[in-house]
Amino acid sequence: MLENDFFIGVKGFISSLYKDKLAVEVVYHNFDHTLQVVEAANEIAIAENISESDKEILLIAAWFHDVGFVENHKEHEEESKKIATEYLKDKGLSKEKIVKVLSCIDATKMPHKPKSNLEKILCDADLFHLGSEDFGNRSSLLRSEWEVLFDKHMTDIEWLEENQNFIANHKYFTDYAYQKLNEQKTVNWLKIQKDLRKITLKKEEQELKGKLKLEENKRKALKDNRPDRGIETMYRVTLRNHIKLSDIADTKANILLSVSAIILSIALSTLFPKLDKPDNYYLIYPTMLFLLMSVVTMIFSILSTRPKVTSGTFTSEDVVNKKVNLLFFGNFHKMPLKEFQDGMQQVMNDRDYLYKSLMKDLYFLGKVLDKKYKLLRVAYNIFMVGIVLSILAFIISFMLMKNSTVV
């Protein structure tokens, strides 16, 4: 029947209409879908052994049931009926058949509620893909069409739930469709459930990870924003800088000590043996000045590096009254271990006491550095001035000795 002139004309008319007027966004309800419904309707009609007259009505309705999409996406059944009526009247189809065709088209409205056998066949043909292996691809096309045409956006979970509920509530009306398609429809439904569980589990894992990460970020933010962290960093950096400055001072003092000791040893081994000769009397004063400069420089260098340790005798009452800084070894080196442990426990449990101890440690370290650098500055000044004066003294002595010899 599909190969007769009438249906060849219907096919050409529908094909041209879709080609000329159908929007490109209509990726599901297009000519391919219509052709699949016509073929499915013909297959079911043959299996159900309906009359040729009924088959003609059924196939006409199958060709025209979604053609209304070329005019109106939301009320496409009404547009389909208008286009079908106009075309069929022009082709001279009887009014009785046209009414039956329109009734079949009406039956394809969702949800399907067919009354006649022809309507049941067309409804089964319209959803033939639910029981096919191509269900996944057809479903994806329908989802894309909904998003573009109806702005109906769904998450993957929402889409799978929509399909799951739809298939669960769907029933094929004809015996043939039920026997041929129901098993594959069940397989498709089970696959949807499997995919839904997988995606739901993945989403729950992502939400849990996101929640844990958010909590971790909050903890980090709270930790980073704590004043204690900034204070501890300040003390740590400042104390480290002061200790480096102390090391630098000790290094400078050791350099000065070494240089002064070398000068002193050279002077004692080279100049002193010559002073007992009458001809070298002019070297006595420059040499003494030279030696004095070296000795004084060494004294101040030693003073700048000389350690000072406090008595280290404090009582438990001093600790309770917060009068002692237990963070400095000079304050606790004579304390019994038990008293020291109790005192440190008190320091750790009392943040104010701890910070005050750190303040004292920093303060007195600064005082020590002040003393170190003052003595070191004096030592370098003495060394510098002494070297200059010693050289000038030697020059003057040589000049006087030369003048005396000439006279």
Give dist(CA 56, CA 6) in Å, integer.
Answer: 10
Per-residue pLDDT tens for 259-283?
888 888 877 777 666 666 666 666 6
Please report, as a single letter, which amino acid is at residue 354. L
Q: Give the other-Cβ count within 10 Å of 164's Cβ.
A: 17
Tell me the average pLDDT across 72-95.
91
Catalogue the long-range contacts made by 34-37 (C-beta closer than 8 Å, 24 or more residues apart).
Answer: 34/62, 34/63, 34/65, 34/66, 34/67, 36/128, 36/129, 37/62, 37/65, 37/66, 37/122, 37/125, 37/126, 37/128
The answer to whether 14 and 63 are in contact (CB under 8 A) is yes
Per-residue pLDDT tens for 359-386?
877 887 888 888 888 888 988 898 888 8
Q: What is the DSSP letter of 297?
A: H
Contacts of 402 (CB under 8 A, 6+ apart): none
Instruction: Please state whether the predicted TM-score (pTM) of the whole model is above 0.85.
Output: no
Q: H/E/C letters for each residue in 120-186?
A: HHHHHHHCHHHHCCCHHHHHHHHHHHHHHHCCCCCCHHHHHHHHHHHHHHCCCCCHHHHHHHHHHHH
Q: Which residue has the tokens 């509530």?
A: 169
The answer to whether 45 and 58 are in contact (CB under 8 A) is yes
Domain ranges across the chain: 5-209, 228-406
The answer to whether 382 and 293 are in contact (CB under 8 A) is yes
The answer to whether 353 and 344 are in contact (CB under 8 A) is no
Per-residue pLDDT tens for 140-176?
999 999 999 888 999 999 999 999 999 999 999 999 9
Looking at residue 390, its pLDDT comes to 81
Looking at residue 372, its pLDDT comes to 87
In this structure, which topology does domain 5-209 adopt according to CATH? Hypothetical protein af1432 (1.10.3210)
Spatial CA neighbour of 139 closest among 28, 233, 24, 63: 28
338 compared with 391, residue with greater pLDDT: 391
Please report, as a single letter, which amino acid is at residue 32. D
Tell me the average pLDDT across 233-239.
80
